[in-house]
Amino acid sequence: MGDFTPFPVIGKPEPLLSLVEVSKLYDGATPFLALDRVSLDVREGEFISIIGPSGSGKSTLLHLLGCLDRPTGGEVFVQGKPLSAMSDDGVADIRRDTIGFVFQAFNLAPTLNVFKNVELPLMIRGVPQKERQETVSRNLETVGLTDKAGSMPWQLSGGQKQRVAIARALANNPKVILADEPTGNLDTKSSREVMDHISSLCRDRGLTVILVTHEQNLAGMADRIVRIVDGRIAPEARKKGERRRFA
């Protein structure tokens, strides 16, 4: 009789994004270690918020998670594949197909109306017109801006502009939305409105969301809070439902 072969172990699915002991050293006259051996797994469908003081490394972390930059130490894995093994073109493909970005400054093209702003990434990808039309309409509906399709960015409120930016980030049907202080320029009501859209994307569409914010009431809407201090993850991270342990 042969050796006993155990049943294959069916493990947890691969994290969507994974940082393993990742560091980022900004080189220059005074080199600065912005991230120091950070490890983080992001699973599909998770809503994570990243908090921490100004200059602690939040945006740097988000840039690495979004494959906008490469680490100077450690490894970034996207769906189990190491970034260091990919060419710059390969990384650009991953970014385009997997990740949608929403930043604090709305970055809408000022001379294009709402519809065309959301359509832009699809044009760049060479998507045929009929499909572009359908996708833009669907995404504008998702963020509740169907009636503003013909408006110019200057005719919109801050919250509406940010929702256009979300619709645009959704254009390529990404797996994950990375948002860096998306409500930083907004009043409380608009912030809430934008956050409600972001959290419903996660809940209803199973989208993965990683949100950098300094507002703790917004951070609290996430499943998990990751706190960065001096380029390292602080141990106060909590799961939803647990008592808050950070001040």
Residues that bind ligand ATP (CB under 6 A): 26, 28, 32, 34, 52, 54-60
Distance from C-alpha of 197 to C-alpha of 138, rounded to nearest angstrom: 14
User: Measured from the CB atom, is 92 or 105 closer to Mg ion?
Assistant: 105
Residue 57 touches which member of ligand ATP, Mg ion, none, C-beta under 5-8 Å by kind: ligand ATP
Minimal distance, residue 229 CB to Mg ion, in Å: 14
Closest-by-Cβ residue to Mg ion is 59
Minimal distance, residue 59 CB to Mg ion, in Å: 3
User: What single string gives the DSSP state of each residue in the chain?
Assistant: -----PPPP--PPPPSEEEEEEEEEE-SSS-EEEEEEEEEEE-TT-EEEEE--TTSSHHHHHHHHTTSS--SEEEEEETTEEGGGS-HHHHHHHHHHHEEEEESS----TTS-HHHHHHHHHHHTT--HHHHHHHHHHHHHHTT-GGGTT--GGGS-HHHHHHHHHHHHHTT--SEEEEESTTTTS-HHHHHHHHHHHHHHHHHH--EEEEE-S-HHHHTTSSEEEEEETTEE-TT-EETTSPP---
Residues that bind Mg ion (rule: CB under 5 A) add up to a total of 1
User: Measured from the CB atom, is 59 or 137 closer to Mg ion?
Assistant: 59
210, HSE (Cβ side, Cα atoms, 13 Å): 26
Two tokens, residue 223: 């499943």
Task: Determine, following the binding rule CB under 5 A, whether residue 59 of this chain makes contact with Mg ion.
Answer: yes
Task: Determine, following the binding rule CB under 5 A, whether residue 133 of this chain makes contact with Mg ion.
Answer: no
Q: What φ, ψ does residue 220 adopt, rounded to 5°?
A: -65, -10
Residue 82 touches which member of ligand ATP, Mg ion, none, C-beta under 5-8 Å by kind: none
User: Measured from the CB atom, is 56 or 172 closer to ligand ATP?
Assistant: 56
User: Measured from the CB atom, is 83 or 179 closer to Mg ion?
Assistant: 179
User: Measured from the CB atom, is 56 or 160 closer to ligand ATP?
Assistant: 56
Stretch that binds Mg ion, among 59-67, 117-125, 143-151, 182-190 (CB under 5 A): 59-67
User: Measured from the CB atom, is 113 or 213 closer to ligand ATP?
Assistant: 213
Stretch that binds Mg ion, among 9-17, 57-65, 103-111, 166-174 (CB under 5 A): 57-65
**Residue type at 163 in one-letter notation:** R
Minimal distance, residue 89 CB to Mg ion, in Å: 27
Minimal distance, residue 200 CB to Mg ion, in Å: 25
Minimal distance, residue 148 CB to ligand ATP, in Å: 29
Interface positions with Mg ion (CB under 5 A): 59
